[in-house]
Amino acid sequence: MSTAFDILWVEKYRPRSLDEIVNQEEIVNRLKTFVKNKNMPHLLFAGPAGTGKTTAAHALAHDLYGEYYRQYMLELNASDERGIGVIREKVKEFARSRTPPDIPFKIILLDEADNMTADAQQALRRLMELYSVSTRFILIANYPSKIIDPIQSRCAFFRFQPLKKDDVVARLKYIADNEGVEYDPEALETIYEISEGDMRKAINVLQAAAALGKVTVETVFKVVGMAKPKEVRQMIKTALNGDFTGARALLRKLMIEYGLSGEDIVKQIHREIFSNEIDIPEDLRILIADYIGEIHFRLVEGSDDDIQLSALLAWMSLVGRKLGVSG
Amino acid sequence: MNKHHKKIPWIIKYRPRTVEEVVNQEEAKRLLTTWLSAWASGKKPAKRAALLYGPPGVGKTSLVEALAREYNFELLELNASDYRSAYAIRRTVGVAAFKKALFGKGIIILLDEIDGVATREDAGGLQELLKIIPETNNPIIMTANDPWKDQLRPLRDKVLLVQFKQLSMTQVMGVLQRICEKERLECEREALRLIAQLSQGDLRAAINDLEAIAEGYGKVTLALAKAILRGREKKSDIWRTLNQVFYAKAAWMAKRAVTNSEEDYETLMAWINDNIPRKYEEPGDLYRAYDALSRASLFLSRAKFKGYWSLLSYVFDLIGPGITYARKEGSILKLRYSYPERIKLMASLREVRQIRESLAQKLASRLLVSKSTVKNDILPILQTIFRYSKDLTYPARLVLGYELTKEEVKYLAGNKAEEIIELAEKIKRTRRIPREPEREEVREAPREQKRAPKKKKQERKGKTLDMFFS
């Protein structure tokens, strides 16, 4: 059957119910008992990106409330919300809303909870206590150590392991076959290696590579390269050549055409500085990283993107000119 | 006031009559006196023209007039910007250069504002001047504010260069004080200080200001000076501020220029940010200037967000003298100031950010990730698919799947956008799109929720959290 529209494969092939989740067996089994008992404690899902934490939370809610589960679940993402005050208001509002017919609680899903400051987490803890009668929190974090102890002790802890190579490759194979995509088997292994056990990233790379035609090791690398603006590397090289004005023209392009923020760009420069593509003495990488850190700090303090990055490029041009390196 | 009494403006009335009276230009006086006395004694010096340069209102023209009087030369004054073509120069300067004055008097040809001649379109005029200079029988004196323009380079080699120094605040004040005494005016010292300060070493401007205040009120007090000169202060436009920063002769001048600027800090900093490379080119100079600006921006954000407004003073230190004294190695470039790209592109920047935000909003809840993950990880993948797909029906189907707007498609697809949008419309016409029931439901839900009555706590008996923490 074919429909007129398509959606991204990460969405299309996401397991909807706990039964569809093939890996993380032990976790799935524990979650299924919650569904059976129609009750659960607060949960803390921790583990690397793309291991199914958010998917498991949604699947759990799906199995608890049925197909229209999203009306009984408040989805928050700590990195998108503006402070604990906003979160508090949303939780308050949600706690008042309609309760599901045969489950005595609603779910508040707080993704990327480890992005919250310790103070905000303290406030969150009070929220969890205040609304514990009518709601359950599912907190999701990459680094559980960043979650304060009083919250950890109130949650049942679930550690998600990085996905195994076989699981990822099998899933990619399933999707590729289902979509009628041609592929070299070793290309799928390359995708696994690049994505480091991150299923979401793996599927996205597969999809982008498939758009180009047959999925080969070559197209996989091509796609990964394309997803990073080539101007970043070019800008670094131009600056290290001592051409400040040229480097800054590229900076403007990155900001305007790609809409990247100062922090995005600083992070990408940092990543590039340690790549083999930039051919500079090893100790210079450290020196540059140190100054990038200083600039990053000034950005975090709220100063102007354009000025800070110009300063970084001016410094790199000076260093490049003095040491005669050309990137 | 008597209508027939012709009032002489003070700048003319108090113009120096003698070389002696010209303030603070000893070096220039020495150079010019030697040069003119050679002419006067009939020995033509090797360089037959002189170029006097320096900021406006420091006495260039006045000194020439005083010298002419002292050495008994006739002064032929030509405003160079009125005679720019080769033909006009030949007719005026050319004729004067070979003229013999009546009664054996020599003639000084004074060409004011020679930098006005040397524009690219009027290169002919300058060429003509270059032909006349080595031949002239009469001394030619030119003035300029900025002698370092590229077009003036050939001229610089052929003339005696005489620099005029910017006047200090005390010197300007001294002159104002003398005028006050002669006019029998009651003048507050603090008022004179303010006038001198705002004049930035331009004596002509200072005398004009003094006269403006005295004329209306008969006395010069600080309060009057403040009230009247505020307007003048405001006029100090951004270019002037930039000039005062890049060409400052002392730290306090640069600091005052940025402190007095009417532009807000961000705008001022955006201008400096874009114009540093138009004035400096040595990597070391560029780095020092940008580092100062970068720290200024840091101080400003701390001042703003944490309310430490006393930090503002350091912002001014860094964007004023911090920029001026960043130049240690290279010379100053002569490029014209440019309007900050940043401000020009702000609109399009805002637009791109909005499109990214709306895409993030749409996709985050569908893909169950944060908006920032969408922006950093998902959008690049979509861009690859939209720009490089072999078969554009696929991105077209994605357009329908996520109900993307034209602007969003343009952002993702670049020059493929038109084609993809057309395809999407074609597909939409030919096939019916089944709606996704789940998403419909989610959209409806919140409205229902608000209408739903509050449930009583008692209904949720039995199972509570406590059973997990016994």
pLDDT of A327 above 70 = no
Shortest CA distance from A241: residue in chain B: B283
> pLDDT > 90: what percent of chain B?
22
User: Which of A249-258, B126-135, B333-342 is the least confident region?
Assistant: B333-342
Q: How far apart are CA B270 and CA B281, in angstroms?
A: 18
Q: How confident is the model at residue A276 (pLDDT cuts 50, 70, 90)?
A: confident
Average pLDDT on A88-101 reads: 85
Q: How far apart are CA B168 and CA B200, in angstroms?
A: 8
From chain B, pick out residues whose CB is under 8 angstroms from the CB of A322.
Answer: 283
Q: How far apart are CA A98 and CA A74, in angstroms?
A: 12
Q: How far apart are CA B99 and CA B53, in angstroms?
A: 26
Q: How many domains does chain A have?
A: 3
pLDDT of B226 above 50 = yes
Give the C-alpha distances (Å, rounded to integers) separating B441 from A12, B304, B435, B437.
Answer: 18, 45, 11, 6
Hey, is A30 helix, strand or coil?
A: helix
Tell me the range of A95-104, A223-232, B281-290, B331-340 where mean pLDDT is highest.
Answer: B281-290
Average pLDDT on B64-82 reads: 80
Give the C-alpha distances (Å, rounded to integers) separating B279 from A250, B152, B274, B294, B331.
Answer: 20, 18, 10, 17, 8
Interchain contact, A132 vs B464, CB within 8 Å: yes
Q: How confident is the model at residue A298 (pLDDT cuts 50, 70, 90)?
A: very high
Domain co-membership, A76 together with A181 = no
Domain co-membership, A70 together with A148 = yes
User: Which of A187-191, A225-229, B80-84 is the least confident region?
Assistant: B80-84
Shortest CA distance from B347: residue in chain A: A256
pLDDT digits (tens, 9 = 90+) for A31-81: 999 999 999 999 999 999 889 999 999 999 999 999 889 989 999 988 887
The reply to whether B169-235 shares the fold of B10-163 is no
Q: How far apart are CA B195 and CA B205, in angstroms?
A: 9
Domain co-membership, A282 together with A149 = no
Q: How far apart are CA B374 and CA B364, in angstroms?
A: 6
pLDDT of residue B2: 43
Give the C-alpha distances (Å, rounded to integers) separating A209 from A49, A198, A218, A313, B107.
Answer: 21, 17, 9, 34, 83
Interchain contact, A226 vs B380, CB within 8 Å: yes
For residue A245, being part of any structural domain is answered with yes
DSSP string, A269-326: HHHHHTSTTS---HHHHHHHHHHHHHHHHHHHTT--HHHHHHHHHHHHHHHHHHHT--
Contact B392, A211 (CB under 8 A): no
pLDDT digits (tens, 9 = 90+) for B124-167: 777 888 888 888 888 999 988 877 777 778 888 889 999 888 88
With an 8 Å Cβ cutoff, is B341 touching chain A?
A: yes
Interchain contact, B368 vs A301, CB within 8 Å: no
| Tokens read off for A183 | 């592929």
pLDDT of residue A158: 93
Q: How far apart are CA A210 and CA A219, in angstroms?
A: 8
Average pLDDT on B72-83 reads: 73
Contact B80, B112 (CB under 8 A): yes
pLDDT of A177 above 90 = yes
Domain co-membership, A155 together with A171 = no
Q: How far apart are CA B262 and CA A108, in angstroms?
A: 51
CATH architecture under which domain B10-163 falls: 3-Layer(aba) Sandwich (3.40)
pLDDT of A201 above 50 = yes
pLDDT digits (tens, 9 = 90+) for B167-189: 888 889 999 999 999 988 888 99
| Tokens read off for B446 | 């919140």
> pLDDT > 70: what percent of chain B?
83
Nearest to B193 by CA among B184, B181, B206, B208: B206
Spatial CB neighbours of B409, under 8 Å, sequence gap ≥ 6: B386, B399, B417, B420, B421, B424
For residue A4, being part of any structural domain is answered with no
pLDDT of residue A309: 95
Boundaries of every domain in chain B: 10-163, 169-235, 238-324, 344-434
Spatial CB neighbours of B73, under 8 Å, sequence gap ≥ 6: B36, B40, B67, B105, B106, B107, B108, B139
Domain co-membership, A102 together with A207 = no
For residue A103, being part of any structural domain is answered with yes
> Which residues 276-305 of chain B have a CB within 8 Å of chain A?
277, 283-284, 286-287, 289-291, 293-295, 297-298, 300-302, 304-305
Alpha-carbon Rg for chain B, nearest whole angstrom, is 35
Long-range contacts of B206-209 (CB under 8 A, 24+ apart): B206/B57, B206/B172, B206/B175, B206/B176, B207/B10, B207/B11, B207/B14, B207/B175, B207/B176, B207/B179, B208/B9, B208/B10, B208/B11
From chain B, pick out residues whose CB is under 8 angstroms from the CB of A300.
Answer: none
Alpha-carbon dihedral B9, B171, B258, B244, rounded to 10 degrees: 80
Domain boundary among A138, A159, A180: A159
Domain co-membership, A130 together with A35 = yes
Domain co-membership, A149 together with A208 = no
The amino acid at residue B20 is E
Q: How far is B335 from chain A (nearest CA, A)?
A: 14
With an 8 Å Cβ cutoff, is B339 touching chain A?
A: no
Phi, psi (5° rounding) for residue B150?
A: -55, -40
Strand partners, B161: B51
Nearest to A52 by CA among A23, A77, A80: A23
pLDDT digits (tens, 9 = 90+) for B247-285: 988 898 899 889 888 777 888 898 899 999 989 989 999
For residue A69, being part of any structural domain is answered with yes
pLDDT of B446 above 50 = no
pLDDT of residue A288: 94
Domain co-membership, A29 together with A154 = yes
The amino acid at residue B68 is A
DSSP string, A174-189: HHHHHHT--B-HHHHH
pLDDT of B420 above 90 = yes
A215 DSSP assignment: B
Q: How confident is the model at residue A194 (pLDDT cuts 50, 70, 90)?
A: confident
The complex scores an ipTM of 0.78
For residue A239, being part of any structural domain is answered with yes
pLDDT of A11 above 80 = yes
pLDDT of residue B262: 74
Domain boundary among A159, A192, A208: A159
CATH number of the domain at A207, please. 1.10.8.60
For residue A283, being part of any structural domain is answered with yes
Contact B460, A99 (CB under 8 A): yes
Average pLDDT on B331-350 reads: 73
Buried-exposed string A52-74: b where 16+ CB fall within 10 A, e elsewhere: bbbbbbbbbbbbbbeebbbbbbb
pLDDT of B459 above 60 = no
For residue A1, being part of any structural domain is answered with no
Phi, psi (5° rounding) for residue B53?
A: -135, 155
Q: How far is B383 from chain A (nearest CA, A)?
A: 8
From chain A, pick out residues whose CB is under 8 angstroms from the CB of B448.
Answer: 71, 98
For residue A2, being part of any structural domain is answered with no
Domain co-membership, A254 together with A208 = no
Which residues constitute the domain of residue A191? Answer: 165-226
pLDDT of B116 above 90 = no
pLDDT of residue B451: 45
Q: Is the domain covering B169-235 a CATH 1.10.287.1260 domain?
A: no
Q: How far is A255 from chain B (nearest CA, A)?
A: 7
* CB-closest option in B298, B345, B433 to A256: B345
Interchain contact, B427 vs A245, CB within 8 Å: no
pLDDT of residue B452: 44
Nearest to A183 by CA among A222, A217, A208, A226: A217
